[in-house]
Chains A and B, each alone.
Chain A
Amino acid sequence: MPTKPETPAPTGPVTSTDAVVEAHDLEVHFALQGSALARLLGRRGRTVKAIDGVNVALRRGEVLGLVGESGSGKTTLGRAILGLVPATAGSITYHGRDRGDVVVSELGSRDLRALRTSMQMVFQDPGAALNPGMTIEEAIGHPLVIHRKLKGAELRTRVCDALERVGLSPVERYLGKYPADLSGGQKQRAVIARAIILEPEVLIADEPVSMLDMSVRAKILQLMLDLKDQLDLSYVYITHDLASAKYICDRIAIMYLGRIVEIGPSDEIFANPRHPYTKALLKAIPEPDPDRMLPRDLPRGEIPDAAVPPLGCSFHPRCPVAVQECGWESRDLRTLLEEHWTRNPGATYDAERDMVGDLGKLDKPELSAHLGVTDSQGTLALLNRIRAENPDEPFWRGVAGIEDDGNGVRLEFHQPHDPALRPAGGVEVACVLYPDERENEKT
């Protein structure tokens, strides 16, 4: 039983006049293929909701950061903006300087290819982003050849120009090299050169420095900032490293399970994080290795399955301050029991296993869960024991009632509430703790 999401803000603080690209109610769902047998029986496979209702605009000339843990949908959002993955719902609009408004999500493949002259991408792994069988000159000039812009001597001049811009000079040293001959930083410079050679307006940079040595990271970021000023670019900067986001971004969008949970000016996000997830991420910054950023403050470490996201606020199973309407449900009860057994020695598990009955029933998200087989009193006592172990566990806030139904106990949860992004101070945040200012106006 999925929770109905709130309708998002009709107009955010960004008006479309100063936006280069906008995503509106964007959804990108990937159909996972089930087993051959399941397909034969006509059962549909599961769907991963990689992007699940995103509204965001990239303003002209800004660097917008997309920050989130692995699997939060950052790359997918970037690829969707470029039209490299189709949107399953919603739209993406590009407001071109000399191309006019283009709805990317409705373009055919030919028009999409033409759009590449305006929007480009820089990839995470520079070692994999260049064809091993192409020289640097071929690789960087290829966009111009594909779009039939230049050839011959002019092409070469432009390639040399691009190489110089990205700091690969003297160019003669690099033109004939193969990617395998270059260092990681040099390869990433070449990838950037290939991305800017068509003079695009938008650059999607997907973790452009995360695979590089510490020593060259700052240089590549500085290069990107310089190019932005020289070439009037707008960037979407994807990262899970908040420190680099702070360095380069004007605004930051924090992503969690395919949604944006907080978005606002970088300074404000860093000075005054509002969403509990953002707070947890910020606490994690001073890790020695920024690649392994793990939010430290989160009670439970697992990122939920994007195919069947939690009810209500999808962050609630990990949220230390969750309240009753955050979406508590049957699967949280299973987690609670399992954690209880992990904390306590094996004998407890053997003794208590029979009191709860089949845990598999709890895997389907429901607002009402049944536990136990015959001994209702025992089950009830077990729940009380677990509660006594940690009375502050947010889970209990979501329980509306526990009732003995003769052959076990039934837990009822509060009605979930799926918070949409709402203005809170200078930012927008998707959390029920921040009362929706717009709703207050209505009442």
Chain B
Amino acid sequence: MRHWFNTIWNTRGLARWILVAGLVIVVAFVVLALLAPWVAPYEFNQSKVDGEKLPKLAHPSGDYWLGTNDQFYDIWSRVIWGARTALEVIFLSVAFSIVLGVPLGLVSGFVGGWVDRALVFVMDSLYALPSLLLAIVFSFLLRGPLGGGIVAAALSLTCIYIPQYFRVVRNTTVSTKEAVYVEAARAIGAPPRTIMRKYLFGNVVQSVPVIGTLNAADALSTLAALGFLGFGIQPTEASEWGYDLSRALDDAQAGTWWPALFPGLAIILLITGLTLVGEGLNETLNPALRRRRLIPVQMPAMRADDAIDARNV
């Protein structure tokens, strides 16, 4: 951890700006999402105030900053609640895929043999399928048992990303388990579980955070695509940008641009932010690409009497 932090802190140049710009965008969305109940003027599915309907398709104005849409919803509120949905789904899907993919990869790489071959086959097959198709299939399958909420959406995205963590962790495990310190662990009598936990885990998960941030951007676009196609989160469960965008398309053709523009902008902005963070981290943490600030080493001029002084101190 300490090591990562130092590496990131010491980055210079383009990588640093990419990282900072990305972080600013992402943090802005996170703050909006966290403060949604206070910032958003209305609930995500609130179309009435005191029994009176909000105006339909009202222009952006002082009352409704981003206007209202055809469902009598306030678009500013929908965008804020949508940020919450998006970040929740992203966080859950990345967390689920790490929690499942990392141990699977570790065990598969360490145990080897037919277990490894079977898992690699399954994961490669998942990886080979188009991810949107996979997500649609899983969201159909999960809609029954889990309903059409955030957890179901996160899980159907999880299936797309598990293979990436699995692959990276499995391959690093295969090479790391040949290290002398793993042999040394066996020599002191460590059982396989201990070897995996104490000797391999910490050394094979180093690239996981980078994959996580890169996947976050991808997860958001897949979520929006699902919502757009009508396979995503049910409109009754939460506000979701992709769904709003798809509903707004007809109005947009009729010249009502605001219901489509703002969810679309939100999607693009958050994807950009997450991608910048991911690329920035990749650039800094990936040793092949890393270009660190070079501090020239300055040797103090050493004279003979200095040396003697130093010894006397």
Whether a CB of chain B sits under 8 angstroms from the CB of A104 is: no
B187 touches A142 (CB 8 A): no
Among the listed A117, A124, A128, A134, which residue makes an inter-chain contact with B189, where contact means beta carbons less than 8 Å apart?
Answer: A117
A146 touches B184 (CB 8 A): no
A198 touches B181 (CB 8 A): no
With A123-B180, A125-B180 as known contacts, state yes or no: A131 contacts B187, CB within 8 Å. Answer: no
Interface residues of A in 4-57 (CB under 8 A from B): none
B189 touches A147 (CB 8 A): yes
Residues of chain A with a CB closer than 8 A to B180's CB: 123-125, 128-129
Among the listed A128, A131, A147, which residue makes an inter-chain contact with B199, where contact means beta carbons less than 8 Å apart?
Answer: A131
Residues of chain A with a CB closer than 8 A to B184's CB: 121, 123, 129-130, 191, 194
Whether a CB of chain A sits under 8 angstroms from the CB of B48 is: no
Chain B residue, CB-CB nearest to A119: B187
Whether a CB of chain B sits under 8 angstroms from the CB of A242 is: no
Residues of chain A with a CB closer than 8 A to B53's CB: none
Whether a CB of chain B sits under 8 angstroms from the CB of A84 is: yes
Interface centre among A84, A131, A191 (most CB of B within 10 A): A131
Distance A124 CA – B186 CA, assembled complex (angstroms):
16
Interface residues of B in 162-219 (CB under 8 A from A): 179-181, 183-191, 194, 198-199, 202-203
A142 touches B203 (CB 8 A): no
A131 touches B188 (CB 8 A): no
Q: Interface size on B (CB < 8 Å)?
A: 17
With A133-B203, A134-B198, A146-B194 as known contacts, state yes or no: A114 contacts B181, CB within 8 Å. Answer: no
A132 touches B203 (CB 8 A): yes
Interface residues of A in 46-96 (CB under 8 A from B): 82, 84
The distance from the CB of B208 to the nearest CB of chain A, in whole angstroms, is: 14
Whether a CB of chain B sits under 8 angstroms from the CB of A113 is: yes
Among the listed B188, B194, B203, which residue makes an inter-chain contact with A116, where contact means beta carbons less than 8 Å apart?
Answer: B188
Residues of chain B with a CB closer than 8 A to A265's CB: none
A120 touches B188 (CB 8 A): yes
Whether a CB of chain B sits under 8 angstroms from the CB of A143 is: yes
A128 touches B187 (CB 8 A): no
* B-binding residues in A (CB < 8 A): 82, 84, 113-117, 120-121, 123-125, 128-134, 142-143, 146-147, 191, 194, 198
* A-binding residues in B (CB < 8 A): 179-181, 183-191, 194, 198-199, 202-203
3 closest pairs, A vs B, by CB? A116-B189, A128-B180, A133-B202
Q: List 15 A-B contacts (CB under 8 A).
A: A115-B189, A116-B187, A116-B189, A121-B184, A123-B180, A123-B184, A124-B180, A125-B180, A129-B181, A131-B185, A131-B198, A142-B190, A146-B188, A146-B190, A146-B191
* Given A120-B188, A133-B203: 14 more A-B contacts, CB < 8 Å: A82-B187, A113-B190, A115-B189, A116-B187, A116-B188, A120-B187, A123-B183, A124-B180, A128-B181, A130-B181, A142-B188, A142-B198, A143-B188, A191-B184
